Amino acid sequence: MFDKILIANRGEIAVRINRACQELGISTVAVHSEADTESMHVRIADESVCIGPNPVNKSYLNAHAIISACEITGAQAVHPGYGFLSENASFAKMLDDHKLTFIGPKYSHIEMMGDKIEAKKIMKKFGVPVVPGSEGKIIDEADAVATSEKIGFPVLLKASAGGGGRGMKVVNNKKELKSALPIIKQEAISFFGNDAIYIEKFIDSPRHIEVQIICDTHGNYLHLHERDCSVQRRNQKVLEEALAPNIEEEKKQDLFKTCTNAMKSMGYLGLGTLEFLFDGNEFYFMEMNTRLQVEHPITEMLTRIDLVREQICVAHGDKIFTNQENIKPLGHSIECRINAENASDFKPSAGKIKMYHPPAGNGIRLDTFIYSGYNVPHYYDNLLAKLITTGRTRNHAIKRALRALNEIVIDGIQTNIDLHKKILSSPDFKNGGVAINWLEQNINIL
- Binding stretches for ligand MV4 (CB under 6 A): 131, 156, 163-165, 200-203, 208, 232, 235, 275, 277, 286-287, 436
Residues 8 and 60: their CA atoms lie apart, in Å, by: 7
**For ligand MV4, the closer CB: 162 or 363:** 162
**For ligand MV4, the closer CB: 55 or 152:** 152
Task: Using alpha carbons only, give the angle 385, 390, 394 rounded to the nearest 5 degrees.
Answer: 115
Of residues 40, 384, 311, the one with CA closest to residue 30 = 40
Q: Which residues contact 182 (CB under 8 A, 6 or more apart)?
A: none
Decide if 304 is catalytic.
no
**Would you say 248 and 281 are in contact if contact means Cβ atoms under 8 Å apart?**
yes
Catalytic residue among 16, 207, 227, 291: 291
**Would you say 289 and 275 are in contact if contact means Cβ atoms under 8 Å apart?**
yes
**For ligand MV4, the closer CB: 56 or 156:** 156
Q: How far is the CB of 240 from ligand MV4 (least distance, A)?
A: 11
**For ligand MV4, the closer CB: 209 or 271:** 209
Residues 38 and 266: their CA atoms lie apart, in Å, by: 43
- 3-class DSSP state of 205: coil
Q: How far is the CB of 76 from ligand MV4 (least distance, A)?
A: 34
Residues 209 and 432: their CA atoms lie apart, in Å, by: 13
Q: Would strands 332-339 and 383-391 be described as parallel, antiparallel, or unpaired? A: antiparallel
**For ligand MV4, the closer CB: 16 or 116:** 116
Residues 138 and 192: their CA atoms lie apart, in Å, by: 17
DSSP string, 59-100: TTT-HHHHHHHHHHHT--EEE--SSTTTT-HHHHHHHHHTT-
Is the bond preceding 243 in cis, omega lying within 30 degrees of 0?
A: yes
- 3-class DSSP state of 202: coil
Q: How far is the CB of 118 from ligand MV4 (least distance, A)?
A: 15
Q: How far is the CB of 18 from ligand MV4 (least distance, A)?
A: 30
**For ligand MV4, the closer CB: 70 or 199:** 199
**For ligand MV4, the closer CB: 388 or 436:** 436
DSSP at 410? E
- 3-class DSSP state of 429: helix
Q: How far is the CB of 233 from ligand MV4 (least distance, A)?
A: 9
Residues 303 and 241: their CA atoms lie apart, in Å, by: 13
Q: How far is the CB of 301 from ligand MV4 (least distance, A)?
A: 22
**For ligand MV4, the closer CB: 67 or 177:** 177
Q: How far is the CB of 159 from ligand MV4 (least distance, A)?
A: 11
Q: Which residues contact 134 (CB under 8 A, 6 or more apart)?
A: 143, 144, 147, 198, 199, 200
**Would you say 39 and 62 are in contact if contact means Cβ atoms under 8 Å apart?**
no
Q: Would strands 332-339 and 236-242 be described as parallel, antiparallel, or unpaired? A: antiparallel
Q: How far is the CB of 337 from ligand MV4 (least distance, A)?
A: 14
**For ligand MV4, the closer CB: 109 or 208:** 208
**Would you say 30 and 7 are in contact if contact means Cβ atoms under 8 Å apart?**
yes
Residues 101 and 355: their CA atoms lie apart, in Å, by: 40
**Which residues are the active-site residues?**
291
